[in-house]
Structure 1
């Protein structure tokens, strides 16, 4: 199949069997617990509504992942361990588990099928780092080296807490340098959201934490990275944001204005904040053509803000689309009826098709060609 016609899912998760077994053994959140009728429930946050999320083989069985892909016409998936990763483990446990899970994920991908009449595999992966407080930088660098040496691991997934102080902690600079030098892609994904008190006392299930808490967490973490100068020190670092970058595209000009008016940070950065936003990659998990179109327009104007005096370059949605990539968030948000197709697939594909200002080539790019290029598939 022509690479330009591939449908590639860059936001799709797996709880590998080793990881699921560990979660079953735990007495505290995160954990997997038995439920009525032989079902299991996954608890990844405190105070989970409805006793957690129903989980089954679709969370860890490769054949179930492939069946999902076949049903929805997805050619390639770049899979990642879902949150909370290794945040709850000791440094020693986290490093051991990261090394084992990276090896498991490489096997999961490498022993899976290829696209017919092609050497391209149907499964690739994002590895893990043992990003927990007090872990040594040497341990992190060992896992970066492990991931870079694995042919089917194209990057790594990362939460927002870093070594406990956040991703703007200067202690991570050697890690950023190693990731940049290896050409790996970082997939930044939220887990903690915002304080539950912000959502009030009315019972609204998962809606507020997932719809707002997760994207705001991503927005804040990425903004802190920008303010810390990470993208000046490591200009070739490739960062892919979950959930279309949260609120960052919509707030990027406000961010730039606040920086300009704050002497503490005004002279810290080499470029306007909007330049850095346009250097990011975003998944196209936003469910609406208007949101996708707006986001691509924001991404497209990076060059305008490279110099101190902004140019009058007109924003071009087509240019911005080159940094957006299709995703499904599988196996979360399953349909209510077993015969239904997943809304996360159908709605995002329909949204891509309906974006005003994207050519057919742009849409093919978002559906798969951009991922083929970014991950050298």
Structure 2
């Protein structure tokens, strides 16, 4: 009987115990709120809008049950869904909120814990590290250098605000340089969304639908576009960026973004001033520097991702433990199978060629990119 090809989950999160202890010690956003009823999981108060004293505690923020922090639960989830290997990462809000003097020690502690979880589960668990982005640049660079001594750390996860002013901030240049020189993949992930006023006065009636479905993708799109416009990929052409949620809306809007840049350039040139914008085209950067995960729940989205970056640069993910089963007691996650179906539907070709494309997305691409030894 032929062996099943490996499946690698590139987008899967964990709040390890040390991180939960950090959140539990805080009283301001973000923090962990323990409920009086101990049979209920604590609530993660992650955004200012979650910290609403008019709401009962059990209605604030997001419930954080054991699936968010237990590596044993992660492994059970992997077994139930035939996932060979997971590359775990800390979920938002990472360490962005810490005072500068506290960031480095927490980054070291948490990254060591991620390495330990990986070491204890050889071939099954690898990790993306977190950085102390509120700390001075030299402290961030020191942690980047240290990560190369941790064999199971395969990159870093980064939020869209960078050091606090976005990914086009010149202060990030030494960070980009260090990540490039150490060949660490950057996993770009949203957190802050768009201003809540954009969702309208009735947004609360729709739960988290608007910020999660529209705010996160647009946040990611804007962050990456600012990064490209500022010439980051001209200065650091060796950077490798994995963008969450299939790049937000980048595959769909890439043509419009490029057209706007070309027209904007025309006007200064007419007046004899310096040409604006990056040197390398958006299509070139997408082909050479960008990877997209397959967390898009749509064959159409997968096809768009493949068209912009190539089938070899699209990687499967689940976003576990978010988007859990819809029915209580259900072990199979609808969100996972929707993504699996999207990969099957959306990758190019039919027959044998289609199977080869799906195999690359489901595991082969991640194994090659990160040099994984899968279990």
The residue number in structure 1 matching 2:226 is 224
3-state DSSP of counterpart to 2:78: helix
The residue number in structure 2 matching 1:90 is 99
The residue number in structure 1 matching 2:84 is 75
Using the TM superposition, give the Cα deviation of residue 367 of structure 1 relative to its aligned residue in structure 2, in angstroms: 0.1
Matches within 5 A, 1:58-73: 58-73=67-82
The residue number in structure 2 matching 1:177 is 177
Label 1:370 to 1:288 Cα distance change in 2 as closer, same or farther (>3 A): same
The residue number in structure 1 matching 2:296 is 286
Preserved CA contact (<8 Å) 2:294 2:317: yes
- Would you say 1:339 and 2:341 are equivalent positions? no
The residue number in structure 1 matching 2:311 is 321
- Would you say 1:23 and 2:18 are equivalent positions? no
Q: Structure 1 CA distance, aligned partners of 2:237 and 2:23?
A: 37
Using the TM superposition, give the Cα deviation of residue 270 of structure 1 relative to its aligned residue in structure 2, in angstroms: 2.0
Across the aligned residues of Structure 1 and Structure 2, the Cα RMSD in angstroms comes to 1.8
Map Cα deviations across residues 91-146 of structure 1 (whole Å, 9 max, x no partner): 1111111111111111111112x3xxxxxx200000011112xx222101111012
The residue number in structure 2 matching 1:191 is 191
The residue number in structure 1 matching 2:284 is 275
Preserved CA contact (<8 Å) 2:29 2:48: yes
Preserved CA contact (<8 Å) 1:4 1:369: no
Using the TM superposition, give the Cα deviation of residue 266 of structure 1 relative to its aligned residue in structure 2, in angstroms: 4.5
Q: Structure 2 CA distance, aligned partners of 1:222 and 1:3?
A: 39
Moved more, 3-12 or 198-207: 3-12
- Would you say 1:13 and 2:3 are equivalent positions? no
Q: Structure 2 CA distance, aligned partners of 1:17 and 1:356?
A: 38
Using the TM superposition, give the Cα deviation of residue 86 of structure 1 relative to its aligned residue in structure 2, in angstroms: 0.7
Map Cα deviations across residues 182-231 of structure 1 (whole Å, 9 max, x no partner): 11110000100000000011121000011111111110010011001111
Moved more, 195-204 or 45-54: 45-54
Q: Structure 2 CA distance, aligned partners of 1:38 and 1:30?
A: 22
The residue number in structure 1 matching 2:60 is 51
3-state DSSP of counterpart to 1:240: strand
Q: Structure 2 CA distance, aligned partners of 1:266 and 1:333?
A: 45
Using the TM superposition, give the Cα deviation of residue 22 of structure 1 relative to its aligned residue in structure 2, in angstroms: 1.1
Q: Structure 2 CA distance, aligned partners of 1:15 and 1:98?
A: 13
Q: Structure 2 CA distance, aligned partners of 1:289 and 1:207?
A: 21
The residue number in structure 1 matching 2:208 is 206
Q: Structure 1 CA distance, aligned partners of 2:155 and 2:218?
A: 23
Preserved CA contact (<8 Å) 2:325 2:335: no
Q: Structure 1 CA distance, aligned partners of 2:325 and 2:282?
A: 39
Using the TM superposition, give the Cα deviation of residue 340 of structure 1 relative to its aligned residue in structure 2, in angstroms: 4.0
Preserved CA contact (<8 Å) 1:105 1:127: yes
3-state DSSP of counterpart to 2:101: helix
Preserved CA contact (<8 Å) 2:348 2:357: no
What TM-score, normalized to structure 2? 0.89
3-state DSSP of counterpart to 2:206: coil
Map Cα deviations across residues 124-170 of structure 1 (whole Å, 9 max, x no partner): 000011112xx222101111012122100000000011111111112
Preserved CA contact (<8 Å) 1:129 1:143: yes
- Would you say 1:253 and 2:255 are equivalent positions? yes
Preserved CA contact (<8 Å) 1:184 1:238: yes
Label 1:94 to 1:4 Cα distance change in 2 as closer, same or farther (>3 A): farther
Preserved CA contact (<8 Å) 2:299 2:343: yes
Preserved CA contact (<8 Å) 2:258 2:282: yes
The number of residue pairs the alignment matches comes to: 348
Preserved CA contact (<8 Å) 1:324 1:370: yes
Question: Which structure 1 residue ranges, 4+ long, deviate > 4 Å from structure 2?
Answer: 264-267
The residue number in structure 2 matching 1:296 is 306
Label 1:192 to 1:178 Cα distance change in 2 as closer, same or farther (>3 A): same
Q: Structure 1 CA distance, aligned partners of 2:347 and 2:316?
A: 17
3-state DSSP of counterpart to 1:47: helix
- Would you say 1:38 and 2:39 are equivalent positions? yes
Preserved CA contact (<8 Å) 1:252 1:277: no
